[in-house]
Structure 1
């Protein structure tokens, strides 16, 4: 891999090894399938996806990208995991999702090639897996049109997040494979807000995502102490 690419080879290898299980709703990716209706509804409610040109950065196997295309958007999903992209492409063919395409390219390279081209940019559950999240945020700002929306989701960095997202989710409840997350890479909302300000994005809404292990239910709330989402807009 090009050493200048903003990606961790170990992280890519981790998700590449699981690529064949992306679309199994009972696999390691079950939480993504369960939260996808929540994040999809939130994004669509703010940005109105129908007819929009959308970019999904760090799309993986295409769970969010495919669902946004089904809402009427023209979606491009990008990732650096070739295996995950092949799974996404195969699923699109099998499901007949016509308005979605996938490319192996970094966010930074995409920003150089397609500045100001997208109405909506999404970057969900990805920032905590890269060496330089600020670079991704700046690329998102470059890629979106003036007036366009950029959505992020990631994990807060505090004791509660370590307890719930690492010990709880990976070791106790086994919702995720052990080693999925590296606590040191978690990002406080104040830090992400700072990246957004530097990139020229206005933060318009913050939401938290919570989980009840007894009922298996996820929901959006005002509690950003563990999982949280940002809705930003380019002036």
Structure 2
């Protein structure tokens, strides 16, 4: 995207662009934003209402699973060298993965829309889901208890914690209780890590995104994936996600997004590509169409919502 001529833009947009430049050079010791915690606390009670303020997230959930499957099914065999971050050609003949082998860590899980659905997958061995907002974790636990089979399986555990406070630990064994798992969060953990670490619609809500990514990437095992979704910082995304989605259509609660915190796909790729031992960058642009739902859009990552994935190679 070419640099906009600031003098030709309305005052409010000039202020936003200038603030965004300052924001991306700022660092803090924690990724947790108190204002974001307050915002999502207010939405907690309606998290599982498919027609409520979180309906966009419910509609996006199938695409989350689709993108994870696409990343895993087109993975190259691990090698001892550090390959390019360019994606390999898809391999439709990739062998299926055996069942109940995958460990998930869902960071910024909210009320548990993705975490709960992941725990029900036939390939899920365990899902650990964390969020710094107590109210939404309470909602997530309450919803899980509505399904006694899931709650008693031990495959899903929720922790009210930030990524900075979570040790690198292997997901608690299926028989461990949530209280035991919470105490484990402070221990030095198993270095094997997770197969899938997800940060869906999270990084645009945190402080210090670079430091946040570093913390997330610590938890991925060799061969595993860091997978997330966010929004490109463009004039188009400001119009669609702020003006239209929040102010006009009201499909997203007002104040949910801060355009200053959006991250372009190329910025994201450059950030993770600098990490030694990582590669196989993936990206998929998506668009929400009112009345239709979320759809994959070619090159959509250049101006709006997108999924991204990066694999730990060593």
Given that 1:137 and 1:199 are in contact with CA atoms closer than 8 Å, whether structure 2 keeps it comes out as no
Match of 1:61 in 2: 111
Q: Where do 5+ consecutive residues of structure 2 fail to align?
A: 1-27, 73-96, 169-187
Given that 1:146 and 1:234 are in contact with CA atoms closer than 8 Å, whether structure 2 keeps it comes out as yes
Distance, in Å, in 1 between the alignment partners of 2:50 and 2:109 is 17
Match of 1:159 in 2: 235
Equivalent residue in structure 2 for 1:16, among 27, 36, 41? 41
Distance, in Å, in 2 between the alignment partners of 1:221 and 1:116 is 35
2:285 aligned with 1:208: yes
Distance, in Å, in 1 between the alignment partners of 2:167 and 2:307 is 22
Match of 1:87 in 2: 139
Q: Compare relative contact order (CA 8 Å, sep 6+) and give the higher one, 1 or 2.
A: 2
Name the structure where helix makes up a greater proportion of residues: 1
- The offset of 1:168, in angstroms, is 1.0
Q: Where do 5+ consecutive residues of structure 1 fail to align?
A: none
SS at match of 2:225: strand
The Cα offsets for residues 111-149 of structure 1, whole Å up to 9 and x where unpaired, read as: 554454211100110000011111121112210101111
Distance, in Å, in 2 between the alignment partners of 1:197 and 1:204 is 8
The Cα offsets for residues 201-221 of structure 1, whole Å up to 9 and x where unpaired, read as: 3243110111222x3321123
Match of 1:119 in 2: 195
Distance, in Å, in 1 between the alignment partners of 2:199 and 2:138 is 19
SS at match of 1:103: strand
SS at match of 1:109: coil
Larger radius of gyration: 2
Alignment map for 1:1-235 (pairs within 5 Å): 4-47=29-72, 50-72=100-122, 73=124, 74-96=126-148, 97=150, 98=153, 99-112=155-168, 113-114=188-189, 115-200=191-276, 201-213=278-290, 215-222=291-298, 223-224=300-301, 225-235=303-313
Segment of structure 1 superposing worse, 113-122 or 64-73: 113-122
RMSD, matched Cα: 1.7
Q: How many residue pairs were aligned?
A: 232
Distance, in Å, in 2 between the alignment partners of 1:232 and 1:111 is 21
Name the structure where strand makes up a greater proportion of residues: 1
* Structure 1 residues 127 and 8, CA gap change in structure 2 (3 angstroms): same
What is the TM-score of this pair, normalised by structure 2? 0.70
What is the TM-score of this pair, normalised by structure 1? 0.92
